[in-house]
Structure 1
C-alpha cells in the first residue's frame, strides 16, 4: 500500500456532545487537520504515519485513539496543556463550548519533531504538511525549512495551509498546494472574486514555489493550475449535512492518489469526489472508498485554454471559466 507521512505538529482531543429525544451521547476522538486527513487516507487504502508533539493528558489520550485506529504515531511526548475542544451538536449545529490551542512548542521540542519528520519522510511516497490549531504553536519558518529539505531529498510534498504558513512552505518549494478560495487573500476573504482574479491569485502561488495549485470553491468548480495549464474541476453536487472536513478529505484524496502513482488530473478527480461525499456525513475526514471511486466518474475536468495547446490571455481565461460555471 502507498505510504503517506503527515506533519501534524499539534493534534487535538475532540469532545462532542450529541443527542436527540432518546438521550445524550459523548464522543471522544483525535482531531485536527492532519488527523482528519489521516482518516481519509486510510479509507483510501494508505498506510499513514503521523509526526507530532503530544502534550499532557489530552496528548496521551490522542496517541491511544490514533494507534487504535491503525495510524503509526511518532511523537515528542511532553507535559503541559494540549490542544482540545468541546462542541455541542445537540441542536443540529456545532456550538463551541471550549477551544484550547495548546502550549507553544519549545526550541528543543521543535528540533525533535523536525528530526522525526525528516526521518519518516525519507521512506514515504508522499509527505503532507498540515497545520496546528493555534496560530502561535510553532513558527511559520518551520514549513519553509521542511518543504525545502524534503523537496531537495526528492520527496513529493503537498501542503494545505494558509497565510504565513503557506507563504513559508511555498518559499521552500512544494509539488502541490491546495488552498480554499477564502484563504487566497485572508484580509479580503469576504469579497467575491472574479474569475480573472482567481486565476491570477492561483498563478501567483504557482510562481512563488508550487509546481501545481488547486483552489477549492464552495458551490463552484475548483480551479487547477498545473504549470501553464488552467483547468476547472466540477465535482458532483450533494445535499450538505456538514461541510466541516470536506477540504481535508479533498487534500487527503489528492495525496492518496499521487502516492499510488496516479496522474494529477486523476488525483484531482478523486479529491473532488471525496470532498463531495464528506459533506453528506457528520464525521470529519470520513467516507467510503468504493463510493468515492464511483463518484469520481461524475467529476468533470475541463481545460481552460486555446486550441492545440495555445495559451489564452487572462481575460480570455476568465471568460472561459465564467462560462463553465454557468
Structure 2
C-alpha cells in the first residue's frame, strides 16, 4: 500500500443548483440546495484513500459542528487526519453555484484555515517524511503550502503541488516541487499571463510551465484532455468521455489525488494522467463531491474509456 500525505483544506460546501447565474441585484428562484463535505485537501485525501492509499491529512477546522462532522468523515474513510482545531474561527465554508451544464462558480470563506501555520507542518513532518508522495494545494496560507513542499522535499519525499486557487508563488518553491497539476487558467496565472487574454495553446502552456519550474506538468483541460510536459517532451492525452456531465465540482481534486496515487505506485506521468482522467470523468457524471469520488471497484464497473489515445506533440518525443 502506497503512502500519501496531504496538506490542505477542509470546508463545507453549500451547493445551489440554479437554472442560470443571477445578474447583480436579481433574486432568482428555482434553485436546489445541498450541503456537504468539501475543501480541496479533504477531497484529495478521501479520494486517495478510496483508491487504496494509506493517507495522512493535515488541515485546520473550527471548534464547531462542521469541524466535528469532518472528523467523523475522515474516520469513516480511513484517513489519518491531524486537524488543528481553532476555537476562534469557523470551519471553512464555500458557496457553490452549479448551472445545468455542470459548470460551477465558487466563493470561499477561509475561517480556521487562516490559522494554519508552518509550525503545524513541522509538528507533522514525520508524516511527510514517511510518505511516498506529498500532495499540497493552495486553499491554505501560501507560506504553509510552501513550507510543506520544502519539508517533504528535504525528507526525500516526492512532491505534488495542486496550484488551486492559482496565485503568485515565491520563485524558490519550484526547486521543491516534482509534479504540478494546474488547469488552463491556473497555468496561465503561474506564468504571469492574463488567462482571459492568453491565446497560447495548451501544449505551449505546459511546455513553458515545465521550463519555468522544472516540474512535471499535468495540465488538465476538462473535456479536451490532459497535456503532460516533462524532460522527455510534451504529449496530450485525449479526454476520457463521461457518460454525462452533471457537476464538475471536485473533478480536479479527484484527478490530482488519482495522479498522486498512480505516481506513488510507480506509473510514469502519462500513465498516471490517463488513470487520473478516468477518475475525473467518473466524478463529473455524479452529483456532489464525496458521493462521487470512486473506488477502484467503482471504476471497474463502468465502461472502458472511449478515448484513450496519446498524441505526441514533441518532435522526437515519446509516444504511448
Q: Verify the 8 A CA contact 1:3 1:124 in the aligned structure 2.
A: yes
Relative to 1, partners in 2 of residues 1:60 and 1:168: Cα closer, same or farther, differing over 3 Å? farther
Q: Which one is further off, 92-101 or 242-251?
A: 92-101
* Structure 1 SS opposite 2:258: helix
Q: Equivalences for 1:195-234 in 2 at 5 Å?
A: 195=201, 198-234=202-238
Q: Verify the 8 A CA contact 1:170 1:210 in the aligned structure 2.
A: no
Q: Verify the 8 A CA contact 1:145 1:172 in the aligned structure 2.
A: no
Q: Verify the 8 A CA contact 2:149 2:159 in the aligned structure 1.
A: yes
Paired position in structure 1 for 2:76: 68
1:245 matched to 2:250 = yes
Alignment counterpart, residue 176 of structure 1, candidates 175, 179, 183: 179
1:279 matched to 2:284 = yes
Pairwise CA distance, 1:93: 7.3
1:34 matched to 2:36 = no
Relative to 1, partners in 2 of residues 1:189 and 1:290: Cα closer, same or farther, differing over 3 Å? same
Greater Cα radius of gyration, structure 1 or 2: 1
Q: Verify the 8 A CA contact 2:5 2:133 in the aligned structure 1.
A: yes
Which whole-Å deviations, capped at 9, do the CAs of 1:262-294 have from their partners, x for residues lacking one? 222221110111111111111326124245366
Q: Equivalences for 1:237-316 in 2 at 5 Å?
A: 237-238=241-242, 239-284=244-289, 286-292=293-299, 295=304, 298-307=307-316, 309=317
Paired position in structure 2 for 1:142: 144
Q: Which runs of 5+ in 1 are unaligned?
A: 19-23, 311-326
Pairwise CA distance, 1:226: 1.5
Pairwise CA distance, 1:256: 0.9
1:4 matched to 2:12 = no
* Structure 2 SS opposite 1:302: strand
TM-score relative to the length of structure 1:
0.78
Cα distance in 1 for residues equivalent to 2:168 and 2:121: 16
TM-score relative to the length of structure 2:
0.79
Paired position in structure 1 for 2:55: 48
Q: Equivalences for 1:189-200 in 2 at 5 Å?
A: 189-191=195-197, 193-195=199-201, 198-200=202-204
Cα distance in 1 for residues equivalent to 2:106 and 2:274: 37
Q: Which runs of 5+ in 2 are unaligned?
A: 18-30
Cα distance in 2 for residues equivalent to 1:166 and 1:234: 30
Relative to 1, partners in 2 of residues 1:159 and 1:28: Cα closer, same or farther, differing over 3 Å? same
